[in-house]
Amino acid sequence: MSRCVALSGGVGGAKLALGLSKAMLPEELLVIANTGDDFDHLGLRICPDIDTVSYTLGELANLELGWGRRDESWSFMETLGSLGGDTWFNLGDRDLALHVERTRRLQAGETLSAVTADVAKRFGITSAIVPMSDDDVRTIVDTAGGPLAFQHYFVREKCAPKVTGFRFAGASDARPSPAFREAFEAASPELVIICPSNPFISIDPILALPGVRGMLAGTVAPIVAISPIVGGKAIKGPTAKMMDELGLPATALGVAEHYAGLIDGFVLDKMDADEEDAVRALGPDVLVTNTVMKSLDDRVSLAREVVAFSRQLSAK
Ligand code: FO1
């Protein structure tokens, strides 16, 4: 049974997921990974957030890059470049093997859930890593210069275009994956965590799936979000830049406003303690603590604090 369901994007979410897997029995954790970033490239299915979570929980992640595998080599990319191939999206040699094998298995008819679960098992991971959906959902970033497929915006254009909005193509026809639905249908989870991931491109695609907001509204479990914005800056990635461009305050309060009505608890960094009252006024209870996760100890202690905070909320 899954006591804790964590909704996650890539690096920030994966760090907390690793902490959670060590703050509880790993089998008690189910991580729902965003698949809006997925795309087909060089004939391969690439699933960046699933892979970042899997590499992180498998302790195989490339910590310098924040994506891909550690101990990586780049012969494939170098050779591809020398042949005049497309090199804007970097696929390391070890990482490449995962994309090749996943693509083969998907083409043979397996679901993304099945492939993801098998890869996690082979990495020695005992927490469940579940794609948000087995159906294709693709994030489109609307920019001042027109719409861009997510990885074109994020990697090829290096997040430079000014964002005007987001769309999740395919979401309205997609179903949440079976394990995602079962986590709420069989018995309620004990807690639901919205990881410190980008609200617009990592969490909103999950929330856009039909039925997900209903599952969250219907659960007795407390829903706790952790701010990915600390001191007006994103720990990693373009969250603060996007908020600026969308005309939203790039603050923890701005993130809490985005989740207002959905969450019971909000965790913000000590650096943003002056926003506590304004967040409380929106409805959720607030935990103010250190949220910047540099070391493994930081990840585990934040996870423990979030779990303890959630328990207090359930007891209310
Ligand atoms: N991010 C980059 O900034 N540049 C890359 O070349 C790149 C390659 C890449 C390959 C596999 C993978 O799983 C992720 C990769 N990422 C790369 C990260 C990824 O595009 C984004 O971090 C996520 O989609 C946002 O969560």
> Is residue 269 in contact with ligand 1, taking CB distance under 6 Å?
no
Q: In what order do the strands lie in the sheet with 191-194?
A: 128-131, 29-33, 4-8, 191-194, 223-226, 265-269, 285-289
Residues, the chain: 316
Residue with CA closest to ligand 1 atom 4: 155
From the CA of 155, how far away is ligand 1's center (Å)?
7
> Is residue 265 in contact with ligand 1, taking CB distance under 6 Å?
no
Q: Which of 39, 46, 67, 86 to mutate to test the pocket of ligand 1 (most atoms within 8 A of CB)?
A: 67
Separation CA 252–CA 227 (nearest Å): 6
Closest ligand 1 atom to 197 CA: 26
From the CA of 315, how far away is ligand 1's center (Å)?
40
From the CA of 74, how far away is ligand 1's center (Å)?
15
Retrieve residue 204's tokens: 């909103």
Sequence spans of domains, the chain:
4-226
Give the C-alpha distances (Å, rounded to integers) separating 119 from 50, 53, 190: 10, 11, 26
> Is residue 48 in contact with ligand 1, taking CB distance under 6 Å?
yes
Give the C-alpha distances (Å, rounded to integers) separating 111 from 115, 116, 118, 177, 219: 6, 9, 11, 10, 27
Fold of the CATH domain 4-226: Rossmann fold (3.40.50)
> Is residue 94 in contact with ligand 1, taking CB distance under 6 Å?
no
204-248 pLDDT tens trace: 999 999 999 999 999 999 999 999 999 988 878 899 999 999 999
From the CA of 184, how far away is ligand 1's center (Å)?
30
Q: Can you give the pLDDT of all 316 residues of the chain as single tens digits?
A: 469 999 999 999 999 999 999 999 999 999 999 999 999 999 999 999 999 999 999 999 999 999 999 999 999 999 999 999 999 999 999 999 999 999 999 999 999 999 999 999 999 999 999 999 999 999 999 999 999 999 999 999 999 999 999 999 999 999 999 999 999 997 889 999 999 999 999 999 999 999 999 999 999 999 999 999 999 888 788 999 999 999 999 999 999 999 999 999 999 999 999 999 999 999 999 999 999 999 999 999 999 999 999 999 977 6
Q: Which of 96, 153, 155 to mutate to test the pocket of ligand 1 (most atoms within 8 A of CB)?
A: 155
Question: How high is the pLDDT of residue 2?
Answer: 63
Residue entry with tokens 């004939």: 43
From the CA of 67, how far away is ligand 1's center (Å)?
6
pTM (2 d.p.): 0.97
Give the C-alpha distances (Å, rounded to integers) separating 22 from 27, 273, 314: 10, 27, 21
> Is residue 51 in contact with ligand 1, taking CB distance under 6 Å?
yes
